[in-house]
Amino acid sequence: MSLSLFLHIVNLETKKLMSYRVDFWITMAVNLVVNLVILWALWTAIFSESGSEIIGGWDLPGILSYGVMVFLTGRIVRGGDLQMTVATDIYEGALSRFLLYPRHYAFTKYAQQVGNIVPDLFQSVLMGLVALPVLGISSTTAITPLTVAMSIPTILVAHLLFFMMGLIPQYIAFWADNVWSLSVMLRFVTMLLGGAMLPLSLFPEPVQQVLHWLPFAYLFEFPTLVILGKVDFSQWLIGIGTCLLWCLAIGSLSIPVWRRGDLRYTGVGI
């Protein structure tokens, strides 16, 4: 695996994304404002109407911090969202070009997706600096330089897992006419079961037990809990290891799908 080639692709992809700067800033501003308004309105209403001070192990500032942090880390993790890139390569025959490259197709695509997260990372840090000071001090969370440092590898591994999970639905494009809906389905499921919409501690206990054995929590909830200081060092190591195992398992599943699809592929007019 060539690191310089990988970094070169990352650099190219970042530059491509940054060429639409108005889009970049509009998206950032609106996303931040809308998410803060909804988070604030929803959770203040729930805490006030339920009369509880702690819900699912969170106080109001804590759950607001969770909402903000899961949104910010989620943006980076979802930078691995392939959307339709692989399927488009297959449909339009652009895959032929990648097949001639000296590196595996998935390697090139992953490097491109890492390039996608650089602007997201920049936006997330900026948004965090604006949003977090206004949320108040929570008794249920503790963001420290150590938790921020621990969250960086966690987010990167979560990004890899998200990329791996997106590969198989995209490879289905070798057989199906349109796989856009499969990718969107995957996004719905991961957002809900990964804790991007709500902390998983709010789910009923039996559901939490089931989710513990699935990979979704490592996408959004785990990196957020790490940054909020709710995961100790040993839990962090176990979490990272489990996430890497899921990457390996899902990556292994994608290999036979790729091989079979590759045999079916015909690039016309290249």
Partner 1 sequence: MTRYLRLYIQFLKFSFSRAMEYRMDFWFRIVMDCMFYVVELIFFTILYQHTDMLGGWNYDQVLIFVSGYLVIDAIHMTVFSNNMWWLPIYVNKGDLDYYLVRPVSSLFFLSLRDFAANSFLNLLIAGGILTWSILRYPGELGAANLLWFLFLVLNGSFLFYILQMLFQIPVFWTHTNRGLLTAFFSANKLMERPDKIYSKWTRRILMTIFPALLVIALPARVLFDGPDPQMIGHIFGVTAILFLVMSAFWNLALRSYSSASS
DSSP string, 193-212: HTTSSS-GGGS-HHHHHHHH
Token code pair at residue 196: 């991007």
Given the complex with partner 1, which of 149 and 184 has the nearer CB atom? 184
35 vs 189: CA distance, rounded Å: 20
Given the complex with partner 1, which of 143 and 198 has the nearer CB atom? 198
CB atoms within 10 A of CB 74: 26
CB half-sphere exposure, 229, CA atoms < 13 A = 12
User: CB of 184: closest distance to partner 1 in angstroms?
Assistant: 5
Given the complex with partner 1, which of 71 and 236 has the nearer CB atom? 71
User: CB of 22: closest distance to partner 1 in angstroms?
Assistant: 6
Given the complex with partner 1, which of 143 and 192 has the nearer CB atom? 192
Token code pair at residue 204: 């009923």
- With beta carbons less than 8 A apart as the criterion, state whether 147 and 228 touch: yes
152 vs 150: CA distance, rounded Å: 6
- With beta carbons less than 8 A apart as the criterion, state whether 213 and 128 touch: no
User: CB of 62: closest distance to partner 1 in angstroms?
Assistant: 14
Given the complex with partner 1, which of 20 and 101 has the nearer CB atom? 20
Largest CA distance in the chain: 66
User: CB of 266: closest distance to partner 1 in angstroms?
Assistant: 18
Which DSSP state fits 181? H
User: CB of 68: closest distance to partner 1 in angstroms?
Assistant: 15
Given the complex with partner 1, which of 72 and 179 has the nearer CB atom? 179
Site residues, partner 1 (CB under 8 A): 20, 22-27, 30-31, 34-35, 37-38, 41-42, 44-46, 49-50, 52, 55-56, 176-182, 184-185, 188-189, 191-192, 197-198, 202-204
User: CB of 31: closest distance to partner 1 in angstroms?
Assistant: 5
- With beta carbons less than 8 A apart as the criterion, state whether 90 and 174 touch: yes
Token code pair at residue 123: 């936006």
Rg (CA), the chain: 20
3-state helix, strand, coil in the chain (%, to 5): 75, 0, 20
Given the complex with partner 1, which of 119 and 229 has the nearer CB atom? 119
The partner residues of 58 in beta bridges, in order of sequence, read 55
User: CB of 170: closest distance to partner 1 in angstroms?
Assistant: 13
